[in-house]
Amino acid sequence: MFKWDLVDPAPGEAVAPHQRLAWGKTAGLGAQHVVAMFGATFVFPLVMGLDPNLAIMFSGICTILFLVVCNNKVPSYLGTSASFVGAVAAIRTQGGDSADVTGAIMVAGVVLLLIGVLVHFSGAGLIHKILPPAVTGAVVMLIGFNLAPVVANIYWPQDQWIALLTAAFMVCAAVLFPGFWSRIAVFLALIFGYLLSWIADAVFGQITAVTGAGDVTTHDRVSWAGVKAADWIGFPSGKLADGVSVVHGPSFSLTFILLVLPGVIALIAENTGHVKAVAEMTGENLDPYMGRAIGADGLATALASAFGGSPTTTYAENIGVMGATRVYSTAAYYVAAAVAILLGLCPKFGAIVSATPGGVLGGITVVLYGMIGLIGAKIWVENRVDFGNPVNLVGLAAGIIAGIGGVTLKITDDFSLSGIALGTILVIVFFHLVNRGGRGTTVIAVDDHTQPRPQQRKH
């Protein structure tokens, strides 16, 4: 499994997963994969209140785990997942701390692992039957749009002008920058906003605004006090903003667990899309590894959460790198994983990222969260979901509004369903309630020229 055929391809010729370039070139490609996943893998732990250093370290560990479980057949990088961001915000709003967050996500990882095992032995048809594109798109949409109040109430008010300029830069970078540079737009926006905040401190002085803790104070936009105190080499340590240790054990609550379980649906869609996209690019049949990929992501998420790390998912940014380079060698991903682990063992590096100004996060998240929501619409379009059919139109409507609007269903004095959890349940139940005989879902083209290409993006 750990042997690759050394090749020296002609320009434009593909390198298969079981092949590799010379180790020098492979190292360069691995570093390129690190840059591609870097911005989002660091941003999402920040917005979830978890440690970015621990996230980057476990992204490397989990990537190796994924490759091994998939027998080195599915080239992929596992970065921080955005699918649980909305649920994490809801958990913290209801008084939960970081241990409650990682405990709930750990259970979701175990559920995803079990689903992967089921898919491996029964085939992917079961998943498509229970979660057709109409349902999956609706769940992904409400996960993204449910995050709008987080941007409006937490990040944007910390520095609205930096947020606006950062958002404008990210939009332009993602669309107008050439090739690879557009694929790392999140990372570039992080650097741009950081530098812009530093210049604003030098030119305009301190800002009087709300902080991430909700207090109105006069403070510097960029503070490197934590960076100066951090060591160059060491394991992630210290305290998170809520007082929980960076490395901590999970805490379990049924209410919080139900909030994060809808994220499992998004991860199934992401992993399925990833495997199909890689299969299309490489020309190999990867269907036998579909269950392994889903299960490996679940195992990786559970493992990371057990130590206080962030949830994982396969990264579309790295699919983009493979598409641009036509190098699908899994050897490059082992290099990328090793680099990520080394970065995770540099506390000073993590402290720099943790010092990202709130206004910068406001600009990045206002774009990212909207993109998550619109990916739901993208799933509908690619699979030609017919909203002229009342099964799709009416069957999904109530769940989307309940999820995005924060509708609450009080079951007992101590237990209620709301937001994403309630919306997901209503979407699934109502859709299948009226979709008798398969009258809803999609209209799929049958010829190769019009067949929608399976693609995924998690951010």
* Residue-wise pLDDT tens digits, 69-106: 999 988 888 988 877 887 888 899 888 999 999 999 99
Alpha-carbon distance of 200 to 158, in angstroms, equals 14
Check: CB of residue 85 under 8 Å from CB of residue 47.
yes
Alpha-carbon distance of 276 to 446, in angstroms, equals 17
pTM: 0.73
* Residue-wise pLDDT tens digits, 294-337: 999 999 999 999 999 999 988 766 776 776 677 888 998 999 99
High-pLDDT (> 70) share of the chain, %: 90
Residue 17 CB partners (closer than 8 Å, separation 6+): 72, 73, 74, 75, 282, 284, 328, 329, 330
Q: How confident is the model at residue 58 (pLDDT cuts 50, 70, 90)?
A: very high
Which two structure tokens, joined as six digits, stand for 240?
């998170």
**Whether residue 450 has pLDDT greater than 60:** no
Lowest-confidence range among 9-13, 113-117, 200-204, 293-297? 9-13
Helix extents (H) in 326-453 = 330-344, 347-354, 358-382, 390-405, 419-434
Check: CB of residue 85 under 8 Å from CB of residue 242.
no
Residue 35 CB partners (closer than 8 Å, separation 6+): 184, 187
User: If you average pLDDT over residues 246-253, what whole number do you get?
Assistant: 92
User: If you average pLDDT over residues 377-389, what whole number do you get?
Assistant: 88
**Whether residue 441 has pLDDT greater than 70:** no
At 385 the three-state DSSP class reads strand
The CA distances from residue 54 to 107, 157, 185, 322, 423, in Å, are: 19, 28, 23, 26, 31
**Residue in the structure block whose two tokens are 């340590």:** 237
Planar angle of CA 52, 56, 62, nearest 5 degrees = 135
Alpha-carbon distance of 450 to 394, in angstroms, equals 27
Which two structure tokens, joined as six digits, stand for 188?
């570039």
Q: 79 forms bridges with which residues in the sheet?
A: 313
User: If you average pLDDT over residues 196-205, what whole number do you get?
Assistant: 91
Check: CB of residue 346 under 8 Å from CB of residue 232.
yes
Taking alpha carbons only, the member of 448, 329, 334 closest to residue 13 is 329
User: If you average pLDDT over residues 53-65, what whole number do you get?
Assistant: 92
Between 64 and 32, the more confident residue is 64
User: If you average pLDDT over residues 277-286, what whole number do you get?
Assistant: 77
Planar angle of CA 236, 226, 43, nearest 5 degrees = 65
What is the predicted pLDDT for the residue at 414?
A: 63
Provide the mean pLDDT of the chain: 82
The CA distances from residue 310 to 86, 101, 154, 334, 436, in Å, are: 14, 9, 20, 20, 39
Taking alpha carbons only, the member of 315, 263, 235, 297 closest to residue 38 is 315
What is the predicted pLDDT for the residue at 152?
A: 83
Alpha-carbon distance of 459 to 373, in angstroms, equals 9
Max CA separation in the chain (angstroms): 68
**Whether residue 137 has pLDDT greater than 90:** no
Q: How confident is the model at residue 418 (pLDDT cuts 50, 70, 90)?
A: confident
**Whether residue 442 has pLDDT greater than 60:** no
Check: CB of residue 376 under 8 Å from CB of residue 140.
yes
